[in-house]
Amino acid sequence: MYEPKKSDHFTFGLWTVGNIGRDPFGDPVRSPFSPEHIVENLSRLGAYGVNLHDNDLVPFDASLAQQDRIVKSFKSALEDHDMKVPMATTNLFTHPVFKEGAFTSNDPDVREFALKKTLRAIDLGAELGAGIYVFWGGREGAEVDASKQLPDGYKYFRDALNFLCSYVNDQGYDMKFALEAKPNEPRGHLFLPTTGAMLGFIATLDQPDMVGVNPEVAHETMAGLNFPHAVAQAIDAQKLFHVDLNDQEMNRFDQDFRFGSVQLKSNFFLVKLLEDIEYDGMRHFDAHAYRTEQEMGVWEFARGCMRTYLILREKVDKFNDDTEIQGMLSELQTESVNWDRIAAGYSSDKATELKAKNFDIDAMAERDFMYEKLDQLTVEIILGIR
Ligand code: GCO
Ligand code: MN
Ligand code: MN
């Protein structure tokens, strides 16, 4: 029952199970896996596909001939194991050239180079069949605010995205962009730090329809925000193009823990959001195994991410089928003809009527919403006793 299937659309980044456990204080603890080894093992575990940065597959300084050989071997592994590449992205953060930013660097040569690298990586993504292209601006930010006219950071980023949207159309690629926010790390401050900030920024682009968001559990949580609320706003704006699932303690460094390892209740509501709207995108895990693990622990980690998602999905079904809970919800979420009339749009008559209307404010203020009971029932669903 909790065995992942291809139809569950679980994906992992090559960089996630491929994480070798390097951190700012310590050397790697695991040997690297080849992309083919990752494809084979994730497929065995029931994943639908793998996602990648250009340099997870093709080294930064590879020649075009080397790239061809690498991509050929990777594609045949995908085919052998019935695995897809639904999402691709560009590494614009590892190489020292990006230390001051990529699309938002003060140095126009760096901005051009970042664009060139992304054009090529988009070609690679298209060749592998990726329909979503992610932009996570790992180096787009600042420690020294004196260094930039801050609004220029936003303008440069917009210039790059406008250029790239047109490129995708020009090439006829079937591809959309998803912007991923993060508050900080590796820069002291990152531009566009939250999913809400990304949504505001998208409205300023030339082709906003092509661009949505890729919210990540860990990133909103690092900022002390409520992740399901960020996802709900993206859904409301019809901009949830992708999602990065992992876990994280609040207000800490980016931990990228196994999905469901920290905030079970919040993750329950996240899964509920995705399942209730029948989200048809990928359930992508952007996390990695603890630094204590060797290879066995890495595959346990991958299995655990998917298994916990499926368990929470079952709990969501239980919640949605629970007659007591549903009875409470239907009392709470009452229909109202009066409200529908207001929501249908403004008229001066409606405003005049409303200003004259009498309300039984005492009765309204005395209402008991019964949220203590509702929340306890939810907790009992999650704990498995309902
Ligand atoms: C991070 C980010 C990245 C991105 C990835 C894809 O905090 O390191 O979450 O893992 O998701 O670069 O754009
Ligand atoms: Mn992250
Ligand atoms: Mn991510």
The mean pLDDT of the chain is: 98
Counting ligands in written order, the one closest to the CA of 216 is 3
Distance from the alpha carbon of residue 340 to the mean position of ligand 3, in angstroms: 39
Q: What is the pLDDT of residue 386?
A: 96
Q: What is the pLDDT of residue 68?
A: 98
Q: What is the pLDDT of residue 73?
A: 98
List domains and CATH numbers for the chain: 6-317 (3.20.20.150), 323-383 (no CATH)
Shortest-distance Cα residue to atom 3 of ligand 1: 136
- DSSP E strands in 121-275: the ranges are 132-136, 141-142, 176-180, 189-190, 211-213, 244-245
pLDDT for 317-337, tens place per residue? Answer: 999 999 999 999 999 998 999
Distances in Å between the Cα of 1 and the Cα atoms of 304, 306, 310, 311 are 14, 12, 8, 9
Provide the Cα torsion 339, 345, 350, 352; round to 10°. Answer: 120
Distance from the alpha carbon of residue 90 to the mean position of ligand 1, in angstroms: 10
Shortest-distance Cα residue to atom 5 of ligand 1: 136
Shortest-distance Cα residue to atom 9 of ligand 1: 286
**Residue 179 phi/psi, 5° resolution?**
-95, 130
**Residue 195 CB neighbours (<10 A):** 28
Catalytic residues: 53, 56
pLDDT for 165-219, tens place per residue? Answer: 999 999 999 999 999 999 999 999 999 999 999 999 999 999 999 999 999 999 9
Q: What is the pLDDT of residue 302?
A: 98
**Residue 257 phi/psi, 5° resolution?**
-75, 165
290-329: b (≥16 Cβ within 10 Å) or e: eeebeeeebbebbbbbbbbbbbbbebbeebeebeebeebe
Q: pLDDT-derived band of residue 22, with 50, 70 and 90 as boundaries?
A: very high
Residue of 217, 286, 288 best suited for mutating to test ligand 1, as the one with most atoms within 8 Å of CB: 286
Residues with CB under 6 Å of ligand 1 are 53, 89, 134, 136, 180, 182, 216, 244, 254, 286
Strand partners, 213: 179, 240
The two tokens of residue 206 are 């030339």
pLDDT for 296-322, tens place per residue? Answer: 999 999 999 999 999 999 999 999 999
Share of the chain above pLDDT 70, in %: 100
- Verify cis geometry, omega within 30 degrees of 0, for the bond prior to 193: no
- Secondary element (H or E) of residue 292: none
pLDDT for 118-155, tens place per residue? Answer: 999 999 999 999 999 999 999 999 999 999 999 999 99
Q: What is the pLDDT of residue 282?
A: 98
CB–CB of 76/128 below 8 Å? no
Q: What is the pLDDT of residue 85?
A: 99
User: Minimal CA–CA distance to 198: which of 142, 136, 152?
Assistant: 136
Q: What is the pLDDT of residue 382?
A: 98
Distance from the alpha carbon of residue 207 to the mean position of ligand 2, in angstroms: 26
Contacts of 28 (CB under 8 A, 6+ apart): 20, 21, 22
Q: How many residues does the chain have?
A: 386
Q: What is the pLDDT of residue 290?
A: 98
pLDDT for 213-247, tens place per residue? Answer: 999 999 999 999 999 999 999 999 999 999 999 99
